[in-house]
Amino acid sequence: MNTRNFGLVLLILASLLAGCGGTGGKDSATKPKMFRANLGLTMGDEFNEAVDMMVYSRYRYIRSGDSRNYPNKINVVTEWQARFIFDDERELGIVAVESRIFLTAKLRPGQASSMRGESTYNATLRAENRVKYAEGQSWQPGQITTQARNYFRDIVDDLMQEIKKPY
């Protein structure tokens, strides 16, 4: 590649990167809309007990739906739960926020499923926010701010303390 073509390629790349770099606003596509965390390996019963103790009892989320009896995969979804507004959310102009949590435990490959909850699963947690920027406004997906991420990280840490590792 000659110098002229190389310079042209650099100019095009710089233009593309400059277009991607804005600071964004309250609806910025550059901010994550979903929190994700790996909870690691767990046994089915321990996973269900940890969800009951930490998500429902301690953090007061309400079960929306789950399929705990399905032996290859355990899915748990909570209702949208109103929660306090963090300072960094308030700075974005948010006046109301709700969160919900999705918990999944998938049977490890090559593992035989057990209806008694003795099988080993890979567990994950996902969480999302929906927000309002003005009273009376409809809900819209909300970004995961630093303080919201820390809040969900606390839930993950508490769950991981309750989940007994199968090794």
Indicate whether 50 belongs to any domain.
yes
CA 155/CA 100 separation, integer angstroms: 12
Each residue's pLDDT expressed in tens, for the chain with a length of 167 residues: 554 444 444 444 444 333 333 333 444 455 679 999 999 999 888 888 898 888 888 899 988 876 666 678 889 999 999 999 999 999 999 999 999 999 999 988 766 655 555 688 999 999 999 999 998 899 999 999 999 999 999 999 999 988 866 55
Domain count, the chain: 1
The structure tokens listed for 33 are 């809309």
pLDDT score, position 117? 53
Residue 18, in any domain of the structure: no
Q: Is residue 167 in a domain?
A: no
Q: What are the residues whose beta carbons fall under 8 Å from the beta carbon of 130, sequence distance 6 or more? A: 80, 97, 98, 99, 139, 140, 141, 142
Whether 77 maps to a domain, the answer reads yes
Within a domain: 72: yes
Largest CA distance in the chain: 69
Residue-level pLDDT at 93: 96
- Residue 133: predicted pLDDT: 96
Q: Which domain holds residue 100?
A: 29-109+123-162
Residue 98 lies in a domain: yes
| Phi, then psi, of 76 in degrees rounded to 5 | -135, 130
Q: Which pLDDT score, from 0 to 100, does residue 11 have? A: 41
Angle CA 16–19–23, to nearest 5: 145
Place of tokens 């929306």: 64
16 within domain boundaries = no
CB 18 within 8 A of CB 128: no
- The pLDDT score that the predictor gives to residue 1 is 53
The answer to whether residue 157 sits within a structural domain is yes
Supply the pTM of this predicted model: 0.75
pLDDT of residue 112: 63
Give the domain CATH number at 98.
3.30.530
Do the beta carbons of residue 75 and residue 104 sit within 8 Å?
Answer: yes
